[in-house]
């Protein structure tokens, strides 16, 4: 075997290892916000809130942390089906659980003044 081939193979293996490690480290979509020391204070997760508001059928919404719980509230347009509302709430509950691993997660979807989905994921 040629030394050049050995160096190329080792370099390729190292690049694959680095790529694998970096992708596994990027499991969560966003970095968690730090909760306030006062449990009554709300700390808004601006990144998740921004993403949530861009979702199809979302009229308004907010993701925040309060009292050790990651909370997502979704206000949906009347045209959104209940099944789509539940799917969206589950999507955000699962994403928040990846980011806020050590917290309880609660995501609620409201349409026409009625709660259409309430997803709770325990610690």
- pLDDT for 28 equals 56
Taking only the tens place, the pLDDT of each residue in 12-27 is: 877 777 766 555 555 5
Question: Has residue 81 been placed in a domain?
Answer: yes
Q: At what angle do helices 82-99 and 46-54 cross, to 10 degrees?
A: 160
Total number of domains in the chain? 1
Average pLDDT over residues 94-103: 91
Question: Has residue 26 been placed in a domain?
Answer: no
CATH number for the domain harbouring residue 53 = 3.30.70.2960
- pLDDT for 1 equals 60
pLDDT at 4 over 90: no
Integer Cα distance of 68 and 47 in angstroms: 19
Question: Has residue 95 been placed in a domain?
Answer: yes
Q: Find the domain containing 52 and state its range.
A: 43-121
Phi and psi dihedrals of 106, rounded to 5? -135, 120
Give this prediction's pTM.
0.74
Percent of the chain clearing pLDDT 90 (strictly above): 57
């Amino acid at each position: 075997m040629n030394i050049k081939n050995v160096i190329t193979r080792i370099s390729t293996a190292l690049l694959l290892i680095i790529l694998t490690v970096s992708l596994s480290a990027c499991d969560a979509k966003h970095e968690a916000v730090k909760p306030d020391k006062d449990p009554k204070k709300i700390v808004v997760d601006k990144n998740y809130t921004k993403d949530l508001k861009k979702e199809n059928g979302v009229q308004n919404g907010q993701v925040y942390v309060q009292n050790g719980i990651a909370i997502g509230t979704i206000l949906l347009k009347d045209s959104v089906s209940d099944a789509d509302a539940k799917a969206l709430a589950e999507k955000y509950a699962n994403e928040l659980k990846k980011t806020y691993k050590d917290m309880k997660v609660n995501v609620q979807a409201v349409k026409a003044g009625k709660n259409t989905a309430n997803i709770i994921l325990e610690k």
